[in-house]
């Protein structure tokens, strides 16, 4: 049951990610919206302790396989995002739209910082985004992530209520 729920959430995000990557590649630009990051934050904030890191590792690995700067860089950044999201979300009020937007926006900034720091440690420049592109990415990921979290919570809450009503009627 848990695997089906995970797939029901992950598959639309993966399809969206593939579409965004394909459109960005045809335009010759890097994508601004990162559904892999949003998926990682969702599981870091709402799952068990290791869920965010595991989903982050899988999402980062898939993103690296699709083609990124250096193989393993997205894996590293997504694992860090999953871990930090897990720690920070425990201190915030869950289920609030502002909290969701803040988590995803902060995770976007954190990912940029992790990639930049890894580049410094390796003595390379990974062609980071400009400040305008980072700001656009923060806003886009925050808004889309918050709306996606709300939709998932709204529909899962509706199913829980239906199940509770059916159980009471027996």
pLDDT at 106: 93
* Domain interval for residue 27: 2-169
DSSP codes of every residue in 75-116 = HHHHHHHHHHHHHHHTTS-TT-HHHHHHHHHHHHHHHHHHHH
pLDDT (tens digit per residue) in 92-105? 887 788 888 999 99
Looking at residue 46, which CATH number applies to its domain?
Answer: 1.10.1760
Question: Domain count of the chain?
Answer: 1
pLDDT (tens digit per residue) in 50-80? 888 988 899 888 888 877 677 888 899 999 9
pLDDT at 5: 67
- Would you place residue 29 in the very low, low, confident or very high pLDDT band (cuts 50, 70, 90)? low
- Would you place residue 81 in the very low, low, confident or very high pLDDT band (cuts 50, 70, 90)? very high
* The pLDDT of residue 162 is above 70: no
């Amino acid at each position: 049951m848990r695997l089906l729920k995970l797939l029901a959430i992950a598959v639309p995000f993966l399809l969206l990610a593939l579409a965004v990557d394909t459109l960005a590649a045809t335009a010759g630009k890097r994508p601004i919206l990162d559904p892999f990051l949003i998926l990682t934050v969702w599981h870091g904030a709402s799952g068990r302790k290791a869920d965010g890191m595991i989903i982050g590792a899988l999402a980062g690995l898939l993103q690296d396989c699709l083609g990124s700067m250096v193989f393993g860089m997205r894996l590293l950044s997504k694992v860090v995002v999953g871990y930090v999201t897990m720690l920070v979300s425990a201190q915030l009020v869950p289920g609030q739209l502002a909290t969701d937007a803040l988590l995803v926006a902060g995770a976007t900034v954190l990912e940029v910082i992790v990639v930049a720091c890894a580049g410094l440690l390796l003595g390379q420049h990974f062609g980071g985004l400009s400040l305008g592109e980072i700001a656009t990415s923060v806003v886009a990921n925050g808004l889309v992530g918050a709306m996606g979290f709300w939709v998932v919570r709204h529909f899962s809450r509706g199913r829980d209520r239906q199940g509770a009503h059916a159980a009471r009627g027996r």
